[in-house]
Structure 1
């Protein structure tokens, strides 16, 4: 493993550095996914407390509905776009002037079509791997996790591909040897995630920007330690 890679603690430190004095902007930037987490948290408690009044099979069917898939894809586009903003924030050290508007950057004409199809392909492939076993699905989700950020760089460089699968392939290549680092980084937030859920999702008001900024720092760290030209070309 490349010894130049930053540790999880160092990546988190980079996230806290840009958020220091700018937490309000980080919170506003993440407000939509945060409200979603709060809604899910409260909904889960409400469902659990009245479980006997519902048909579990109906709940399963609802979860797997087309609407649920669309929501997952759109939420994935939104959260990826938020990381886009944090990537630029980390690079320039300048907080977004209009954080709420900036959160929807992946829905703009420059990014949306590619973002939608990359998220859709990502969803389908991870789902297919998960049908085999949960572990392969998790591994593939981690392997494909950088596809949207590679696409962002490609758009900005004016060197986009005609094949959206290329960005997932490049993510898999980029994450070769780095999947464990990413998994450990995710695991390092487990305690905070549990605490956030115990507060019915309210804790995500602070945790969501912290995590988004940290995963943006992870991507930048990968780029700095790999051949960026080969990744984007």
Structure 2
């Protein structure tokens, strides 16, 4: 079992040592998560057909520009954002264990890791989207069930799509509501951050990311203890060897 206080206390302990680096990584994770785009509006007051046609073309151009922008954002999210997110998660996992947290982003873009991350993250997001199409609540539940996928990929990018999804589902079974409450516990911090012209929100993100990494480590340990996976599945022995070699 785990408690919010324990996770947060451990996260704060780590952040005392790495806060500003964690802040930068958190910004990258947030940017990699995609963004929202707004639309514009046009008006006309002249009855002339010339001006009407001009307005039609202007509206079409605006819509085309927005559509292209959305496609570009989706493209960046899939082919760059997923890997940046997994690299960022790896940074926080390594930091939580006080292991080497260097080159975490390059790890996600290595030739042998890149495709595995993109494929698994994409399928996971598609599954969540499809569940959301059924009803909002099932989509939310599945988003919590698959919450650990990027963390699992941070350990083993090539574990396989269905294996990563299945393991995340098993890790979070019986913990979804507690994870939901954990998320709610940060709302107060984000509201305080929003009071500082919204800038303060940025300074809360490392705290949340570090706490979520601590959560993953607890759930990962539970999974290993319950034989839901092995250390070989998550390449933990290889990581220890690599760590030793680097030192």
With the shorter chain as reference, the TM-score category is 0.7 to 0.9
**Structure 1: segments with no counterpart, 5+ residues:** none
CA deviation string 1:71-92 (max 9, x = no partner): 443434322321111111111x
What's the CA shift for 1:145? 1.2
Alpha-carbon distance in structure 2 between the residues aligned to 1:23 and 1:206: 9
Partner of 2:52: none
Q: Normalising by the residue count of structure 2, what TM-score does the alignment of the two structures yield? A: 0.71
What residue is the counterpart of 1:27 in the other structure?
A: 23
Task: Report the counterpart of residue 221 of structure 2 in structure 1.
Answer: 224
- In the superposition, the TM-score normalised over structure 1's length comes to 0.74
Count of residue pairs the alignment pairs up: 211
Contact 2:92 2:213 in 1 (8 A): yes
Judged with a 3 Å threshold, the aligned counterparts in structure 2 of structure 1 residues 35 and 131 are, in CA distance, closer, same or farther, namely: closer
Matches of 2:206 and 2:68, distance apart in 1: 27
Q: CA deviation at 1:11?
A: 0.7
Question: Using the alignment, how far apart are the partners of 1:20 and 1:179 within structure 2?
Answer: 29
Alignment of 1:102-181 (within 5 A): 102-154=104-156, 160-161=158-159, 163-181=160-178
Note the C-alpha offset of 1:53: 5.2
Report the CA distance between 1:16 and its aligned residue.
Answer: 0.7
Aligned partners of 2:124 and 2:69: how far apart in 1? 16
- Taking only aligned residues, the RMSD between alpha carbons, in angstroms, comes to 3.3
Q: Do 2:149 and 2:164's aligned partners in 1 also have CA atoms closer than 8 Å? A: yes
SS in 2 for 1:226: helix
Quote the offset at 1:214 in angstroms. Answer: 0.8
> 1:70 aligns to what?
75
Residue 80 in 1 paired to residue 82 in 2?
no
The 1:197–1:132 alpha-carbon spacing in structure 2 relative to 1, beyond 3 Å, is farther
Q: How does 1:174-213 map to 2 (within 5 A)?
A: 174-197=171-194, 199=196, 201-213=198-210
Q: Which runs of 5+ in 2 are unaligned?
A: 44-58, 234-247
Q: 1:18 to 1:130 in 2, by over 3 A?
A: same
| Worse overlay, 68-77 or 175-184 | 68-77
Of the two structures, which has the highest relative contact order with CA contacts closer than 8 Å and spacing of 6 or more? Answer: 1
Distance 1:111 1:36 in 2: 17
